[in-house]
Structure 1
């Protein structure tokens, strides 16, 4: 199937190329439109479309097409060469030189290279052209199909700025684009700016949002973090008034009123006279006042049946379709209303029109009217909210009778209509205002950018028989934007070919080093200790080889936090859960904890920790100054991370949570700790560490021990409660244990007895004995506990 599709695409492109060479431009245009309906990002198609427009003399439109193609293929030879030709033709010699230089670096034809070298020499010698490499970068973020206002703006700013349009289909594109850019422009005040304004990056970037009239009547502006936004552009005063009244958290000094400009050069001007052809351009919905359209044409037809209403646009509500069909029939207007559907080439469609009509309730500027005026067409504008602030009142009507009078009037001056737009709403005027605004905010420093001197980061990878996953883990480290990284891979005596793969990494990458165990250690403890000891970096990140870093910016974001808060010992975040194939399943969200929360909740959750110690980055000085390493209890095989979170509290570590994921944790059968033989001793290790190292006022804060005056009574109750805790653990693992992923755990009665009942009975008996040693204060409760214990144990041989 894929092969036949590629063959078809190739065939269509060959046909388009042949038609262009034969100067059959209209036929080529039809085929190109068909091609773009199938493929959105083909470099050759963008190039052919630009050639088509160049041959038609539409250089500005060709420039927009090329720049859209360069968003996908920034180094493409044809696109850069065609853009260089346009720039040279327009006298933009510095830009032409840059594009010719990119083109020649990506040219495989020696003869073409000679021609381009001549062009470069001519630009330098005759025009003094030089490449400017210090342009600020602007990223424009917009949703698919919502970029109709952006083309000329991007083109107009591209001489002074390095520009990129990002059509956002998923949120990670926003973060990627913001990292690239110095200035971030969000077209429309919608979900994109709401998301982008809340990113950590927004604190150090210049953020601009352009709000159109639509968003003023939604909740979108209330979802934006406005203290991250430098400027809000609104196109008209009346929409500005609505926004500031409805959303009072938006600071007035952040708003710039900049009307959207009309590129009058795109609209061929012709002197016109009175006539009978009315044009309506745009969507048809209740906001556009479509009922007034019918009433207006009906009144005109009563005067002269030659009047016709031409509609270029789509119905957005089927109720309007039904109404139009009914009223056209009832009012006998079938010969006078012509609906064309959506029209791509409005410039051509408007050639024979005499009036451009607006019947809207509210608009920003109503650009389709201004575009018609640029062609010399007389505007007939219903008095929508704000209309008289934008248009001369002589073009504005309140009643159908007034609209009829404007149309019947002998006063018709095409030059006046065009001049009104050029004087008040030209694209040049808009661009000058935008450039002035950008210049002002560019002079104001936001948060200072990092990083002047990059500290070395050690990323340690722990591997045992995960060769098939290791490439993903290592490549996720090598692709980091932060580049001062050493990688240490510790292999715990693998036998699946992992060692050969690590050897290859060492040969290929100078910053990768392997440590090889000659026998399996049985856990990750030895590897963690070696990484802490061998790390040369100021910071250490430990990763299992079956997991991988979430994105390219993990290390950069972590080091930013350390540099902002030098007192920190550890920075952590969330954990993305992926399946064995690396497909996203879920996210584990954490939060900022206190020491007491970690201790209390770990105890309450029967040894299950809440503080993740293996999904973030450590300052290695924390280990060095305290002369510690990864803590190990030989009884604790599967909960070493929980134990270490408690140990680090004893050393007063400082930690910080960031609400973003750093690791993708691969969920598969080999990394699940369902083995109760190892799990129960590990839980006991955690509970005992808490009992022996922290005050009971923390982990037993809810039982009121502080209210008991007698030392013996207090101790007796504490020991009895701990016995109850172990009893609860026994009940849970005997009958109710369910792994977090929902996996089935089918253990035999003998297995449960040996590895759950026996060890936990020992602890229960131990703490019952300690309680009774203090006195008979809780004799009745203990007898009830022993009775319950006998009822759930199948064969009790505890001593």
Structure 2
């Protein structure tokens, strides 16, 4: 059966049906089926199939291109960078990939690179696109000229830890020439500092240690934002606080943890608490109600306390076997992968626990969920909790240290029985969950707090210690 012909007839459901019935599947069959899912707005299935192709053949350009296009349309810059650069390395003259990468470099503040890629896209583009590219190149050059008039702000973070800064970069880009530097070597850290007027170090980890001990940092305003794990790993003890002007923490209890081993930390650096902000207008809300679908969202590691989630779902299934636990996240430790899959079988939960792995389109995934279960033993915030509440989903939150200052106390639990009770009770206040996030974690409010913090250093030319 020719899947391409069926696809061209826009009979996407039949493409999927025929694909599932095929005994021998070619790589191109997977690509066409992924596109069928995408046209049916089942983005996660489309992405999953494209990733499956790339596992079998990392050089499949169609899979890389279509995956890049999906990430580009979703403005998922981090994922786009991974896939589009892999494609570019194999075919540097593809105009569409160059066009996507131009927008990526523009977002990250690398204007020379953005214009270079855009011009390359123009030179290789099909006829009829001249007007589009000429306008876009002019727009890029105007943005570049405007950026040159602004203070230069470096955002520096380690590879793989840039998930929380894209919204902040976007929020600050009108007032600063913001450049994002994802670093893997000390030399890259030094280059990012040398370029900047103001330095922002995202995470107080190894990168911050290296940066704080770089001699050329001492003449520039420097900010560190510490999230969570860094406070538990004693990284702050290795940072040269003489070269840091501001330490931003996302929660008060993180300061308490640091003070337990650096009692005088407030004498070493100016500390400000600015919680994470949530772009609530970008999170679709729909009224939810009691049901049987429980979400658990996190990469699976010891910090997230995964054994507790199995104990909770087991108790719920004993009361009603319609309850299901939906787990979105990759295994971070082989021991947990072995243990959890073993226990699911031993506890007869194969029909009640579903492992999805990494989920790219969370909006799609959340649609049928009634509860968010968080079993973490430590968090500084818990963005999955905020996202669920913003969607109107009831959160069931383990009472980790500091949680009472972040989340509604009546949604916290200490024991497995407490969690089960919160799930089966009649109380379900979908509007209040969204309102709580809106009132406490407004992105606009938090970005203004960050702007006010950085403005203090906007024209500062030397340290005042």
TM range (shorter): 0.7 to 0.9
- CA deviations on 1:707-766 (whole Å, 9 max, x unpaired) are xxxxxxxxxxxxxxxxxxxxxxxxxxxxxxxxxxxxxxxxxxxxxxxxxxxxxxxxxxxx
- What is the aligned counterpart of 1:168 among 183, 207, 213? 183
Matched, 1:200 2:215: yes
Change in Cα spacing, 1:84 to 1:215, as seen in structure 2 (3 Å) is: closer
The yes-or-no answer on 1:355 pairing with 2:385 is no
Q: 1:394 aligns with which of 410, 415, 434?
A: 410
Structure 1 segment 37-436 matched on structure 2, within 5 A: 51-52=69-70, 58=74, 60-61=75-76, 65=80, 103=118, 107-108=122-123, 112-117=129-134, 131-251=146-266, 254-325=270-341, 327-436=343-452
Unaligned runs of 5+ in 2: 1-26
| TM-score, structure 2 as length reference | 0.74
Q: Is the 8 A contact 1:297 1:309 kept in 2?
A: yes
* SS of the residue 2:367 aligns to: helix
Work out the CA distance in 2 between the residues paired with 1:198 and 1:32.
41
Q: Give, in angstroms, the shift of residue 198 of structure 1.
A: 0.8
Contact 1:141/1:174, CA 8 A, preserved across alignment: yes
Judge conservation of contact 1:16–1:32 (CA < 8 Å) in 2: no
Kept in 2, the 8 Å contact 1:49–1:62? The answer is: no
TM-superposed CA distance for 1:383, in Å, is 1.0
Cα deviations by residue, 1:253-291 (Å, 9 ceiling, x for unpaired): 521211122233453322211101111111333332333
Deviations 1:6-30 (A, max 9, x none): xxxxxx99x989x989x86969855
Distance 1:152 1:118, change over 3 A: closer
Contact 1:191/1:220, CA 8 A, preserved across alignment: yes
Q: Secondary structure at the match of 2:294?
A: strand
TM-score of the superposition, structure 1-length normalised?
Answer: 0.45
3-state secondary structure, aligned to 1:340: strand
Q: CA deviation at 1:435?
A: 1.4
Which has more radius of gyration? 1
Of 115-124 and 148-157, more deviation after overlay is shown by 115-124
Taking the aligned partners of 1:407 and 1:53, their CA distance within structure 2 comes to 35
Give per-residue Cα distances to partners, 1:484-526, cap 9 Å, x unaligned: xxxxxxxxxxxxxxxxxxxxxxxxxxxxxxxxxxxxxxxxxxx
Structure 1 residues 250-259 or 353-362, which shifts more?
250-259
Question: Which structure exhibits the higher relative contact order, with contacts defined as CA atoms closer than 8 Å and separated by 6 or more residues?
Answer: 2
Number of aligned positions between the proteins:
416
CA distance in 2, matches of 1:183, 1:284: 36
Distance 2:433 2:395 in 1: 8
In structure 2, C-alpha distance between the alignment counterparts of 1:135 and 1:68, rounded to whole Å: 32
Alignment of 1:15-26 (within 5 A): none
- Shift of the 20–132 alpha-carbon distance from structure 1 to 2, 3 Å rule, reads farther
Is residue 315–residue 321 contact of structure 1 (8 Å, CA) maintained in 2? yes
Check conservation: 1:212, 1:364, Cα contact below 8 A. yes
Q: Deviations over 1:367-389 (max 9, x none)?
A: 11112222221100111111110
CA contact (8 A) 1:16 1:31 kept: yes
Q: What is the alpha-carbon distance in structure 2 between the residues aligned to residue 66 and residue 145 of structure 1?
A: 12
Whether contact under 8 Å (1:101, 1:120) holds in the other structure is no
State the 1:83 CA deviation: 9.2
Distance in structure 2 (CA, Å) of the matches to 1:355 and 1:403: 11
Distance 1:344 1:35 in 2: 16
